[in-house]
Amino acid sequence: MTSETATNKSRVIIFDTTLRDGEQSPGATMTFEEKLEVADLLDALGVDVIEAGFPIASEGDFEAVSAIAKRVKRASVAGLARAAYKDIDRCAEAVRQAVRPRIHTFISTSPLHMKYKLQKEPDEVLAMVSAQVARARNHVADVEWSAEDGTRTEMDFLCRCVEAAIKAGATTINIPDTVGYTVPDEYERIFRTVIERVPNSDKAIFSVHCHNDLGLAVANTLAGLNGGARQIECTINGIGERAGNAALEEVAMALHTRADVMPYTNNIDTTMLTRASRLVSAVTSFPVQYNKAIVGRNAFAHESGIHQDGMLKNAQTYEIMTPESVGVSKTSLVMGKHSGRAAFRSKLKEMGYELGDNALEDAFKRFKDLADRKKIVYDEDIEALADDEIGHTGERIRVEALTVIAGTMGPQTATLTLEIDGKSVTKQATGNGPIDAIFNAIHALAPHTATLEHFQVHAVTEGTDAQAEVSVRLAEDGKTVNAKGADPDTLVAAARAYIAALNKLMVKRKKTKPEAMGQVG
């Protein structure tokens, strides 16, 4: 306990157990090097206590706790120990070199655990509490004692154990909700009652430790503070036994965001939360669910048009925290089928496009159509669309509709409707393949002498639902023009590209041969 935490009644100690309770979750094992990396980040993040492992559990755990104790500059380093002298002595050896070493020792106190797990009478357990804490105090000044399954322990017995632990020298008393069974009101009441009834309770800091079996770990944690606890045990990303522990990032941001109703202070640098989350996810290979509070990839992303519109006017309309406050560079307006005009216009502007009202309206319609067909609309899709739209502004010929029949049973047929100088005209043509059929239809509707010099298709983004971008070069009388067309349908993109090239050709003709401008072909 630092002098600041001892005297400041609103200061909350953040005790991180990612490397102990977190690492205990099935499949979350970390290597020695990964544990050191996580410990360094936790220290930089500002946690007060790093529970580095369970030294008696294995040689590897012992080595990791010792190495972390040696290297961590600021935080206390704790090791876990059962109620056995050999556990406590081994733990003491592991944390010995820490700037602030802590031994965290525990024993079950609930009737169920004492009877079936420990097979001991309550008085035997009580005697062990005093003995184990005293043993730990012989090694270090900072001793935490936990009443395992505390929330299912009889209140009288819990109070007797807590009093004995403090008397034997425990400086922190943890009442864990080991099985994630309690609810906020009850947990708050447990702390209030114990603190009121235990005569020496003012000599220790009380701690919450919540598991998430009912999804209540963070709510219970915060309720424990209201009951008088001033240490929070938690893990990055909420990893831990079964459904996990209270998530550090959620607790920290709840305290940060709602300081008006929870006037507690702590030392966490919230701007490092995202980094910490990513590191723990990477080393454990536990993915972070997309909609996870604070660090999920959707936590600061908006797709719905109404929300995007609100966000563009004032971010506080739909965000209670800034992305920067948790280390995310900015809010992302995900462009999808729910996005509205305002977000689309803002996205184009951000990408450097300024479209006129008509072009914007056209581009927006095409974007909506694309978003209906495609799972993810990438920036490259919007770019292709905007380029396409700019290329088509002021054109005399536009593609209105296209139907193609293709496949093994030729001939391939294209039915094409073009708008030429404001008039719709339709033609059906066949060809040697669908592209040939389309170009023949174009020829029939807009006769011209230009020849096709180059035709290339490429996918704008990855995936089978990617937009196609077709590039076309036409040549006529020594003049060449290049144009592009984009669409999720390669054939439509081809028609658009060819028509764009024809339009360009007409502009070129106008410049060199004004009398030819009147004729489309």
> For binding to Zn ion (CB under 5 A), which residues are involved?
21
Beta-carbon count within 10 A of 310 CB: 17
* Segment contacting ligand KIV by CB under 6 A, of 174-182, 291-299, 367-375, 416-424: 174-182
Nearest distance in Å: CB 22, Zn ion: 9
Nearer to ligand KIV, 176 or 227 (CB): 176
Residue 249 interacts with ligand KIV (CB under 6 A): yes or no: no
Q: Among 25, 146, 172, 231, which residue interacts with ligand KIV (rule: CB under 6 A)?
A: 146
Element at 148 (helix H, strand E): strand 142-148
Going by their DSSP bridges, the two strands 412-420 and 397-405 should be labelled as antiparallel
Nearest to residue 230, comparing CAs of 262, 197, 186? Answer: 262
Residue 178 interacts with ligand KIV (CB under 6 A): yes or no: yes
Q: Give buried/exposed letters for 150-176 (b at 16+ CB in 10 A, else e).
A: bbbbeeebbbbbbbbbbbbbbbbbbbb
* Segment contacting ligand KIV by CB under 6 A, of 30-38, 172-180, 307-315, 337-345: 172-180
Nearer to Zn ion, 106 or 353 (CB): 106
Nearest distance in Å: CB 107, ligand KIV: 9
Nearest to residue 274, comparing CAs of 289, 292, 252, 294? Answer: 294
First to last CA, the chain: 88
* Segment contacting ligand KIV by CB under 6 A, of 153-161, 173-181, 421-429, 508-516: 173-181
Are the CB atoms for 169 and 144 separated by under 8 Å?
no
What residues from 18 to 37 belong to the interface with ligand KIV (CB under 6 A)?
21
Nearer to ligand KIV, 211 or 484 (CB): 211
Which of Zn ion, ligand KIV, none does residue 238 bind to, with CB < 5 to 8 Å depending on kind? none
Nearer to ligand KIV, 111 or 310 (CB): 111
The SS3 of residue 300 is coil
Give, in order, the Cα–Cα distances in Å from 293 to each of 218, 274, 320, 328. Answer: 11, 11, 12, 13
Residue 187 interacts with ligand KIV (CB under 6 A): yes or no: no
d(C-alpha 7, C-alpha 13), whole Å: 12
Residue 106 interacts with ligand KIV (CB under 6 A): yes or no: yes
One-letter amino acid of 172: T
d(C-alpha 1, C-alpha 143), whole Å: 10
Residue 221 interacts with ligand KIV (CB under 6 A): yes or no: no
Count, residues near ligand KIV per rule CB under 6 A: 9
Nearest distance in Å: CB 169, ligand KIV: 18
**Interface map 188-217 toward ligand KIV (x if CB under 6 A):** ---------------------x-x------
Beta-carbon count within 10 A of 514 CB: 9
Nearer to ligand KIV, 211 or 368 (CB): 211
Nearer to Zn ion, 21 or 469 (CB): 21
Sheet containing 468-476, strands listed edge to edge, beginning at the edge strand earlier in sequence: 451-459, 468-476, 479-487
Residue 113 interacts with ligand KIV (CB under 6 A): yes or no: no
Residues that bind ligand KIV (CB under 6 A): 21, 106, 146, 148, 174, 176, 178, 209, 211
